[in-house]
C-alpha cells in the first residue's frame, strides 16, 4: 500500500520543523508584547516629563508677564525686580529644556511604536493559530515566519529605543500576566 500526501505530512520529519516554527512565532509574540508595553511605559513617562517641565514654565511666564504689566506705571521695589527677573530666567530655562529634550515628540513616537508592536502581536496570534492547523504546509509556514521576522526587524529599526528599565518592567509584568500574553 502506497503512502499518501496526508501520511507524509503527519510524519515526524514534517511536523518537527513546524513545531520549531511555532516555537519561534511564540517567542516573537512574547517579545512583541514586551516591546509594546515598554513603548507605552516610555511614552507615558515622556508625556509626564513634558507636563512637569511645561506647567511651571507657563505659570512662571504668566506671573512674569503680569508683574511687568502691573509695574509699568510705577517704580517697583528691588525685591520685585529681582524676583521677576529670576522667574523669567527659570521660565526660559524650563522652556529651553522642554524644547531640547522633545519629551512630547518622543512620547508620541513611543505611543506609535507601542501601537505598532501591539498590532504586530495580534497578527502573530493569527500566525500561531495557522501553524497549529493541520492544513499548514511547511514551505508556506516558513515563508510566513520569514515575513514575520522581517516585519519584527523593521519595527525595531523604526522605533525609538526603549530604556532598559521600562523593558525590564514590561518583562516583570509579563511574567505575572495570568492571561498568557
What pLDDT band is residue 134 in, cutting at 50, 70 and 90?
low
Query: Can you give the pLDDT at residue 28?
Result: 95
Separation CA 109–CA 121 (nearest Å) = 18
Q: What is the pTM for the complete model shown?
A: 0.76
pLDDT at position 33 over 80: yes
Residue ranges of the domains in the chain?
A: 22-175
Exposure letters 41-74 (e unless 16+ CB within 10 A, then b): bbbebbbebbeebbebbeebbeebeebeeeeeee
Amino acid at each position: 500500500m502506497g503512502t499518501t500526501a496526508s501520511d507524509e505530512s503527519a510524519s515526524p520529519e514534517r511536523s518537527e520543523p513546524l513545531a520549531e516554527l511555532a516555537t519561534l512565532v511564540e517567542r516573537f509574540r512574547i517579545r512583541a508584547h514586551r516591546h509594546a508595553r515598554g513603548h507605552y511605559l516610555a511614552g507615558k513617562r515622556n508625556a509626564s516629563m513634558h507636563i512637569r517641565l511645561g506647567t511651571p514654565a507657563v505659570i512662571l511666564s504668566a506671573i512674569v508677564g503680569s508683574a511687568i504689566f502691573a509695574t509699568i506705571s510705577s517704580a517697583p521695589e528691588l525685591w520685585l525686580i529681582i524676583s521677576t527677573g529670576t522667574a523669567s530666567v527659570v521660565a526660559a530655562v524650563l522652556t529651553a529644556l522642554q524644547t531640547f529634550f522633545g519629551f512630547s515628540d518622543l512620547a508620541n513616537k513611543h505611543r506609535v511604536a507601542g501601537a505598532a508592536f501591539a498590532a504586530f502581536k495580534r497578527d502573530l496570534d493569527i500566525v500561531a493559530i495557522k501553524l497549529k492547523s493541520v492544513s499548514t504546509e511547511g514551505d508556506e509556514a516558513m515563508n510566513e515566519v520569514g515575513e514575520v521576522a522581517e516585519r519584527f526587524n523593521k519595527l525595531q529599526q523604526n522605533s525609538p529605543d526603549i530604556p532598559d528599565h521600562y523593558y525590564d518592567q514590561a518583562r516583570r509584568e509579563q511574567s505575572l500576566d495570568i492571561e498568557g500574553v
